[in-house]
A and B are shown apart, each in its own frame.
Chain A
Amino acid sequence: VAINRLRSALFRPEQSSSPPVRPEPLRWQIASVKAVKQETPRVKTFTLSLPDWREFLPGQHFDIRLTAPDGYQAQRSYSIASNPERKDEIDLSVALLEDGEVSSYMHNVLIPGDYIEVRGPIGGYFVWKAVMGGPLLLVAGGSGVVPLMSMVRHREAAGSTVPARLLYSSRNLEDVIYLNELNALSSAGNGLGVIYTLTHDQPPGWKGYSRLVDDSMLREVAAPLGPNPRVYVCGPTPMVEAVANNLVKIGIPQAQIRTERFGPTGGRP
């Protein structure tokens, strides 16, 4: 009887409480560039059509690989900016780095109709989807806003109403990526607040913050979300470390804080 029961369990995988891990081998594929948009003086968004598009999680990234005629390869990771409700294509927003092998190629060479080698989606740690709930505190430094933008766009497209606040630190207003879209989303009344801090130059009459993200700023921004928000921080390494330390200082549990640092070698996003 026991064996029969075991056998029937084996033949009914849908009754299993823990589905097996689905292997997801990473395969390189050739994407075609559908559109290129200049977002800011240093950031372009590349819309890539993927022959093998897969459902991704906001916060995940893609690897891009360039191969020179002599076989030399350069590879970088770039966060997805679009939301998974948009099928068959992804947006990658790429900042042009000084001596950035891959970013300079993308900025200066790549045009619509070109092909490029990519693999992904990659990553399962720095991710958020609407079913995970909130409240949500997103902290971005510079182009670190890219994976958080995927979360914000997904939250909107999924009809999620979890309270969410995006604190976006930028050198100046010209460098703010997605400015118009963020302003439209935050004034739509769906529970998303966007707060800017401009660390170097502020336009006349600027009413937002104008300093590096510090503990008192985080306390003010996080206050409406209560004591236990889910926190995602993405930006350059020194900024992410300062923010993570200050979040712990103002009493947010460390387990609630997920970070994504990008540096010169990682080239992300």
Chain B
Amino acid sequence: MEDLQYLPNNESVLDGNAAAGLLQEAFGTEMTANKVQCASCGKVSRVGALLVYGSCMGSVLRCPGCQGMMLRIASRHDALWLDMQGVTYLRQERVAP
């Protein structure tokens, strides 16, 4: 319950859905239905439920529980950068939802 109430009142925050294209570029498959665990607080969330800050060219994905930074992703013309130091594990489902 506190998770949703904890959200910052920030109009620029989006859901993990907004980073779906970048993540699919990085992993080669749909990622937003997968579960990830936050390295800061241990909360497990769907990637699509993370809080996304940034634009379609680069995003920071934060934990909806503690706001901790979980994932950073940036797309440039020459390379795609992915920083996952805020994620302890990612569970990739074998069956599509």
Chain A contact residues, CB within 8 Å of chain B: 18-26, 61, 63, 75-77, 119-120, 122-127, 236-238, 241, 244-245, 248, 254, 258-266, 268
Contact = CB atoms under 8 A, between A and B. Distances in A.
B13 A125 contact: no
A76 to B, nearest CB: 7
Given A19-B94, A237-B14, A268-B18, A124 B56 contact: no
Contacts of A258: 48-49
A51 to B, nearest CB: 19
23 contacts: A20-B94, A21-B29, A21-B93, A26-B24, A26-B25, A61-B20, A63-B56, A77-B21, A120-B21, A125-B17, A125-B20, A125-B46, A237-B13, A237-B14, A258-B48, A259-B15, A259-B49, A262-B18, A264-B11, A265-B14, A265-B55, A265-B56, A266-B14
B64 to A, nearest CB: 10
Nearest to B54: A265
A122 B24 contact: yes
Given A261-B15, A266-B18, A24 B28 contact: yes
Contact of B28 (A18, A20, A25, A268): A25
Contact of B20 (A25, A123, A244, A254): A123
Contacts of B13: 237, 261, 263
Q: How large is the interface on B (under 10, 10 to 19, 20 to 34, 35 or more residues)?
A: 35 or more
Given A18-B95, A21-B29, A124-B30, A264 B49 contact: no
Contacts of A268: 18
Contact of A124 (B7, B18, B94, B96): B96
Interface of B: 1, 3-5, 7, 9-18, 20-21, 24-25, 28-33, 46-49, 52, 54-57, 92-97
Nearest to B8: A241
Contacts of A26: 21, 24-25
A245 B20 CA distance: 24
A12 B95 CA distance: 18
Contacts of A63: 21, 56
A260 B56 CA distance: 15
A123 B1 contact: no
A126 B48 contact: yes
A50 to B, nearest CB: 16
Nearest to B48: A125
A124 B9 contact: no
Nearest to A265: B55
Given A63-B21, A248-B1, A264 B12 contact: yes
B97 A124 contact: yes
Contact of B56 (A19, A20, A244, A266): A266
Contacts of B25: 26
Given A77-B56, A122-B20, A124-B33, A21 B92 contact: yes
